[in-house]
Amino acid sequence: MSVIACRAALMGATLFALAACASNGGHAMADTPRPAREAPLAGPVPARQSTAFTLGTDQPRAPEQLAVIFDKADLSIKVIPDDRAIDAVAVLDFTATAPVERLVVELDTILTVSEVDVDGVPVPPDRWSNPEGRMSVELGRTLAAGETARLRIAYSGRPRVAPHAPWDGGFVWATAPSGEPWIATAVQPEGCDIFWPCIDHPLAEPGRVDLHITVPSNLSAPSNGKFLGTVDHGDGWTTWNWSAANPNTYAIALNIGPYAEVSADYRSRFGNVVPMSYWHLRSDDPAKVAALFAQFAPMMDFYEATVGPYPFGDEKMGVVETPYLGMEHQTINAYGNEYKLDGRGFDWLLHHELSHEWFGNQLTNRNADDMWLHEGLGSYMQPLYDRWLHGDRFMEASLLDQRRGLINKFPVVSGEEKSEDEVYQSDRGPGLDIYNKGSLIAHSLRLLIGDEAFFRSVTRLVYGTATPRPGEFQPRYGTTDEFLSIVHEETGQDLTWFFQGYLYQAALPDLRQTRAGGELVLEWVTGNGGVFPMPVEVEVDGRRRTVSMDGGRGRIAAPPGAHVLIDPDNKVLRRLDFIEEWKAAGNHAQPLP
């Protein structure tokens, strides 16, 4: 949510942690009747285990990987439910940007490679190797800058079974309530190399991925991008064909099951028409299916009004029901919330994963250290949607839930290159704070600079322009520094102090206050001791004034006996003693009954 959301809190965590993280705030989700389904089947462990290298993602790229452009991947994958195995052929096209003598990709070593060839010429086994999951193939010549090469790899085997999808990922082999196989992949924490050969790094997205997914003919296989039709082979197997442009590597997803499809066109406020599809289990309650699908268009309209055009309108807005909670998979988001209601008037999981089409798929962070751009801005969309649907009370309730979930042990942004594990695991990095704290920082920034500057800044970050039009932009990479530069341009102010005080410090800014001699004296104290001139509204006996806080200090008249209320609208994210005391007491960590 990346429902990787909360991995740190959720690896064996309480149900409370799951609800709090996943709902961006801890709304209890009422159970609704649903046909029983079997839990995902664990199955026997493969004889070989994935290496530590494979189980990590966004590792530093090899020099040979830095010297090529990944033009296209053509993946033919037969999924064999009875064996919990795959039989696959990957054809990968590269263009050299500098001289290179070998092609290097990642592929899990528990999969057996049977054939390798380059440009149609077989490569003997002594000229390729895959010892730890980084596969190196000698070209037998030097590929000059501008030249292309086609690498073909045939492989098969039993891919890694997800111990706890989506937080600890791999394949999920489950059984639908009606008895058929129900299979899905979720590999964000581990990367694309779990089941297809790729360059497992966010900056190495292929220009296009074509998918040919062969499954038993009584099952369907919705996937990324445009649907190119099926081929029934007449032997009990059918191939589903898809094509996706510029996908995130971990977002390539296999989804196989007894699905039915409901579809409609969304007429965008930008003039184009976007096909919407939801693949659900045929055994689902039709009324619940219809109610969920009815949410698609309003959510799309909200995001288009708030951020900009749906980024993949020439392909589809797609959702597929999965036997695990969820994950953002470009144009085929995983949905496993079982139609649960939580009193907000919309499905939080559907809404959050849809946010990642903008924050994650259209805009991709250059490094995991900037992951808050995905998760924080994406999480802020939910309080904004609460207001869009129901008004300020619901937005404030959502923000309060996020506020109670803050950890404040590590900075949201360190300023150093980080792996996903170093960011998502709360014993090593910010963990849930990239969601909740990132959202609250975005809220404080919006209230500081105003809606026009804030939303123009977000739109520019996502599209590279303040006036995006369908078909006139491409997916892009972004950083926190770039966002700061955009905000500077939009406001004409240097807000480095804001970013430094919130993002680069673990501790929240602390507003110290003393009251004497008919005055209230205020002073900001930050984690790095830097000046933090955040203005503060103060209400004295019902009358409000804004204290400018030049140099991080300010004062206001407050006669003895007057009632003083600091920041009455809760515009400013800051340390609050009563929340710290509540957390220290531990009462917030009790599991749901």
* Domain containing residue 520: CATH number: 2.60.40
Nearest to 90 by CA among 139, 34, 155: 155
312 DSSP assignment: T
The answer to whether the beta carbons of residues 503 and 547 sit under 8 Å apart is: no
For residue 368, the SS3 value is helix
Chain-centre distance for alpha carbon 477: 14
Within-domain flag for 551? yes
Within-domain flag for 231? no
Structural domain that includes position 515 = 510-572
Within-domain flag for 557? yes
Burial class of residue 211 (count of CB atoms within 10 Å of its CB; 0-12, 13-18, 19+): buried
Nearest to 274 by CA among 325, 226, 223: 226
Burial class of residue 207 (count of CB atoms within 10 Å of its CB; 0-12, 13-18, 19+): middle
Q: For every one of its 593 residues, what pLDDT tens digit does the chain have, with 9 covering 90 and above?
A: 454 444 333 333 322 233 334 333 333 233 233 333 444 444 454 457 999 999 999 889 999 999 999 999 999 999 999 999 999 999 999 999 999 999 999 999 999 999 999 999 999 999 999 999 999 999 999 999 999 999 999 999 999 999 999 999 999 999 999 999 999 999 999 999 999 999 999 999 999 999 999 999 999 999 999 999 999 999 999 999 999 999 999 999 999 999 999 999 999 999 999 999 999 999 999 999 999 999 999 999 999 999 999 999 999 999 999 999 999 999 999 999 999 999 999 999 999 999 999 999 999 999 999 999 999 999 999 999 999 999 999 999 999 999 999 999 999 999 999 999 899 999 999 999 999 999 999 999 999 999 999 999 999 999 999 999 999 999 999 999 999 999 999 999 999 999 999 999 999 999 999 999 999 999 999 999 999 999 999 999 999 999 999 999 999 999 999 999 999 999 999 999 999 999 888 865 443 33
- 9, HSE (Cβ side, Cα atoms, 13 Å): 24
Q: What angle do CA 268, 463, 3 make, to 5 degrees?
A: 80
Nearest to 96 by CA among 116, 73, 66, 121: 66
The predicted pLDDT at position 586 comes to 81
Q: In whole angstroms, give the CA distance from residue 415 to residue 479.
A: 10
Within-domain flag for 181? no
Within-domain flag for 53? no
Within-domain flag for 134? no
Q: In whole angstroms, give the CA distance from residue 593 to residue 591.
A: 6
Q: Which amino acid is at 247?
A: P
Chain-centre distance for alpha carbon 277: 20
Q: In whole angstroms, give the CA distance from residue 332 to residue 279.
A: 9
Nearest to 549 by CA among 516, 525, 517: 525
380 phi and psi, to 5 degrees? -65, -25
241 phi and psi, to 5 degrees? -115, 130
The predicted pLDDT at position 121 comes to 97
- Cite the beta strand spans of 312-450 per DSSP E: 317-321, 326-327, 333-335, 363-365
pTM of the model: 0.92
Within-domain flag for 522? yes
The total number of structural domains that make up the chain? 1
Within-domain flag for 230? no
